[in-house]
Amino acid sequence: MPSPRRFVLIDRDGTVNVEKHYLSDPDQLQLIDGVGAALRRLSQAGFGIAIITNQSGIARGYFNLERLDQIHARLTQMLEAEGVRLDGIYICPHGPDDDCACRKPLPGMAKQAMAEHGFDPKLSTVIGDKEVDVELGQAIGAATFLVRTGHGEKYAASSKADHVVADLPAAVDIILGEI
């Protein structure tokens, strides 16, 4: 039986943290303004929060899994300092030409999160700055948000997202306004 807890699946680069071309240094990690407080509000409202992120920089040889773990440890610390505990971070380390089931827009990472946390995808939300995030959300039947931060502005005019918003805090305002 699915968990009654609702989940928000969130892209990392350009949605939670400032977009850096293939972020490979934990010291360059910088949260987008207002993200910590917005995620804390989601958590306080009882939502599960998971990061779902394509990390083709691994397949491209720009950094390795150990370095990615360091980046995610720093992200976790930064969010915990804001009062936020993530329920998970799910990665696809493959390149765009690899034949995998996890690279967004395919639903592999979302399915992994659903298997671990038992939530109903139709009661979940996907937030990201690229159309592949929107397509992932549609593939699992979730509500979708495209943020204009990161790469979002270039997708905004033609996005098939349920909502196109300025940033993650604006998405959270809508999510919490609908419950």
91/94 Cα distance (integer angstroms): 9
Residue 162 falls in the annotated catalytic set: no
For residue 140, give the H/E element and its range.
Answer: helix 131-140
| CA quadruple 18, 23, 75, 164: dihedral sign | positive
Separation in Å, CA 6 to CA 108, 125, 142, 179: 19, 8, 11, 10
> How many C-beta atoms surround the C-beta of residue 53 within 10 A?
22
Q: Is residue 13 annotated as a catalytic residue, yes or no? A: yes
Of the candidates 13, 87, 129, 133, the residue annotated as catalytic is 13
**Residues labelled catalytic:** 11, 13
